[in-house]
Chain A
Amino acid sequence: MSGIQVEGLSKTYRRGLAGERVHALVDVSLTIAPGEAFGIIGPNGAGKTTFLGCLLGLLRPDAGRITIDGHAPDDLAIRAVTGYLPERLVLDRWMTGREFLAYHHALAGQPAAGRREEVEGALERVGLGGEAGQRAIRRYSRGMLQRLGLAQAMLGQPRYLFLDEPASGVDPAGVVLFRRLLSELRQKGVTVILNSHQLDQVERVCDRVAFVKAGRVEAIETVAAGAAHARVLRVRAADAAIGTRVTREQLAALAVSAGAALTGIDPPEARFTVADDAGAARLLQTLIGAGVPVAEATPEESRLERLFLDAPTDARTKGSA
């Protein structure tokens, strides 16, 4: 069976002198299809990194089963097709970036014949070609380390890529680069498992997103491009028109005629619920057509942000994972 299957996964840690049990994962079951980009989001200590650790075979679950392409996650056949970028990236600081990639290329069991070209290619792809690749890792900035980490994870053309907060500490140009690289990998059919707090990135990259809280998967949402999502649009009008020249009733009527709904006004702003991006465009067109001097329109929050914010706040009781 191809893809990743997780059935009834549970993991506890023992913490403190008394060996108190902390539930990091509780009966997690899900399936990730081959070639899918799957996001994992959740508050700190929700169990996201523990989940990734179990998927990678670095942590032993107390109960449940994980298979990747029908194999155990620590099977060497799976390791050969796996790339991993940990959140707390620690690299061999005495090496140069180039040496580090050559080292991991060898550890990945890749043939020595094409090593130089593949390493150079990987460095170029993450923007560390030339002098940067020759620099000792201890002289790298946080963003450069993340880039090198991603290059390392992509070595050997993995079929499964596990990324734990890949854009952490990366500048905006790096974030765009990461997104482009992930998009390229997806086009090649690589299955991407992305754990990130940057919800907009997750929403842009992933097909589905699991919201993890207190060790449980609270929801799995489809966020693929084109999927219909209701969203809140905040519209600000110039000249303090909303609430004075344009009344609540007029705005409500205009919203209904555009297939949207007015949810409230807080001059000079009004909030509308729209079905999707097309609905938002229709609403704005209607408002402008009716003479409302629209100065700014902002989506109030993404679906994932709402998922985050709407979730009850009684997260796990103890510890963190």
Chain B
Amino acid sequence: MNLTLVTTLWRQRLTSPVRMAILAMLSLMPLLGVAFMPGAGLALLGGAQGLILTLGAGMIGQDLSSGVLQLLFARRLRRPEYVVSRWLGVGAAAAVISLLQLAIACALLAGRGAVPTAQDILMFGGGRVLESFGGAAVLAFFSSLIGGFGDLGIYLLVNLGAGIVQMAGQVKQWLWLARAGAEISAALTPTIDLVRLVTVTPMPWYPIVSYASTVVLCLALAIVVVNRRELSYASG
């Protein structure tokens, strides 16, 4: 990991008014729900996809289309180091914002006398952190494929495609097709259901293996794609 790249990514995200506005909206809206409907608990906070997409969109593609990568890779910087730093930067930022949001939600719930249990907080927070790094890995792969914010387009298309496949499977009662759609959809934001993991015996290994393999595969593919890229406007 290259700390300079990670911190620069964070600073770049912080200077983008559009991203900051979307982030504020995505962070505060669920908190309003928690404040006014304390009975629903932490579930109202939902998933971290919005945060990941807002922080991660164009994480590699923007550098690719702007031409900044040429200058970066002429430096003493390994390409895999760049990809991993981008992933960690986005994943860590989404995780930190998620945990901050969780902390505020817990404070709000405590104020209403509906404080969640320590286990609930731990499970929810852990799930959000895993989701942040999982989703960031998928987005890193998409972003390595296409310039600008094309990764967002790929994400939405795959999500839409997975939804259609799942629906078609349900309509036709082809369980295998419905399952395929669900797996594709889940693979877009990999996470582990920690509650199920700690309550079911024997411990199910499939979610762990599935999460780890998705993250590793996406990062490996992103590294391969970035490694193979020729970086000169003459090659364009």
What's the nearest-Cβ distance from chain B to residue A106, in Å? 4
B76 contacts A59, C-beta separation under 8 Å = no
A90 contacts B76, C-beta separation under 8 Å = no
A-B contact pairs, 16 of them (CB 8 A): A53-B231, A53-B235, A59-B232, A59-B235, A76-B78, A79-B74, A84-B71, A90-B71, A92-B12, A103-B8, A104-B75, A107-B4, A107-B72, A107-B77, A108-B75, A320-B234
- Residues of B208-236 at the interface with A, using a CB-CB cut-off of 8 Å, are 230-235
A24-B234, A53-B231, A58-B230 known; A90-B68 Cβ under 8 A: yes
A91 within 8 Å of B (CB atoms): yes
Q: Which of A60, A79, A94 contacts B15 (CB 8 A)?
A: A94
Count residues on chain B whose CB falls below 8 Å from chain A CBs.
Answer: 25
Closest Cβ neighbor of B231 among chain A residues: A58
Contacts of A104 in B (CB 8 A): 71, 75
A152 contacts B71, C-beta separation under 8 Å = yes
B70 contacts A86, C-beta separation under 8 Å = yes
Closest Cβ neighbor of A112 among chain B residues: B4
A interface residues, Cβ below 8 angstroms from B: 13, 24, 47, 49-50, 52-53, 56, 58-60, 76, 79-80, 82, 84, 86-88, 90-92, 94, 103-104, 106-109, 152, 162, 320-321
Contacts of A53 in B (CB 8 A): 230-232, 234-235
B232 contacts A109, C-beta separation under 8 Å = no
What's the nearest-Cβ distance from chain A to residue B58, in Å? 13
B74 contacts A58, C-beta separation under 8 Å = yes
A76 contacts B67, C-beta separation under 8 Å = no
B67 contacts A90, C-beta separation under 8 Å = yes
A50 contacts B75, C-beta separation under 8 Å = no
Closest Cβ neighbor of A25 among chain B residues: B234
A86-B70, A86-B71, A152-B71 known; A107-B15 Cβ under 8 A: no
B66 within 8 Å of A (CB atoms): yes
B67 contacts A59, C-beta separation under 8 Å = no
B73 within 8 Å of A (CB atoms): yes
Q: Complex Cα distance A85/B68, Å? A: 12
What's the nearest-Cβ distance from chain B to residue A258, in Å? 47
A53-B235, A76-B76 known; A91-B230 Cβ under 8 A: no
B76 contacts A109, C-beta separation under 8 Å = yes
Closest Cβ neighbor of A320 among chain B residues: B234
B75 contacts A59, C-beta separation under 8 Å = no
Contacts of B2 in A (CB 8 A): 107
B interface residues, Cβ below 8 angstroms from A: 2, 4-5, 8, 12, 15-16, 66-68, 70-78, 230-235
Contacts of B76 in A (CB 8 A): 76, 79-80, 107-109
Closest Cβ neighbor of A24 among chain B residues: B234
5 cross-chain pairs, A with B, having the tightest CB-CB distances, nearest first = A53-B232, A90-B67, A84-B74, A49-B234, A106-B4
Q: Complex Cα distance A135/B37, Å? A: 47
What's the nearest-Cβ distance from chain A to residue B70, in Å? 6
Q: Which of A13, A90, A107 contacts B235 (CB 8 A)?
A: A13
Contacts of A108 in B (CB 8 A): 75-76
Closest Cβ neighbor of A162 among chain B residues: B74
B232 contacts A82, C-beta separation under 8 Å = no
Closest Cβ neighbor of A75 among chain B residues: B76
A82 contacts B74, C-beta separation under 8 Å = yes
A79 contacts B75, C-beta separation under 8 Å = yes
- By CB atoms of chain A within 10 A, which of B15, B16, B77, B234 has the most? B234
Contacts of A84 in B (CB 8 A): 70-71, 74
- By CB atoms of chain B within 10 A, which of A56, A91, A107, A320 has the most? A107
Q: Complex Cα distance A80/B4, Å? A: 16
A50-B235, A90-B67, A94-B12 known; A60-B74 Cβ under 8 A: no
Q: Complex Cα distance A224/B75, Å? A: 31
What's the nearest-Cβ distance from chain B to residue A282, in Å? 46
What's the nearest-Cβ distance from chain B to residue A175, in Å? 22
Contacts of A109 in B (CB 8 A): 76
Contacts of A106 in B (CB 8 A): 4
B75 contacts A107, C-beta separation under 8 Å = yes
Closest Cβ neighbor of B75 among chain A residues: A107
B75 contacts A58, C-beta separation under 8 Å = no
Contacts of B77 in A (CB 8 A): 79, 107
Q: Complex Cα distance A106/B234, Å? A: 28
Contacts of A60 in B (CB 8 A): 230
A92 contacts B68, C-beta separation under 8 Å = yes
A91 contacts B68, C-beta separation under 8 Å = yes
Contacts of A49 in B (CB 8 A): 232-234
Q: Complex Cα distance A166/B132, Å? A: 42
Q: Complex Cα distance A188/B73, Å? A: 25
Closest Cβ neighbor of A110 among chain B residues: B76
Contacts of B74 in A (CB 8 A): 56, 58, 79, 82, 84, 162
Q: Complex Cα distance A80/B76, Å? A: 5
Q: Complex Cα distance A107/B235, Å? A: 25
Q: Complex Cα distance A162/B72, Å? A: 14
Q: Complex Cα distance A76/B77, Å? A: 7
What's the nearest-Cβ distance from chain A to residue B86, in Å? 14
What's the nearest-Cβ distance from chain B to residue A4, in Å? 15
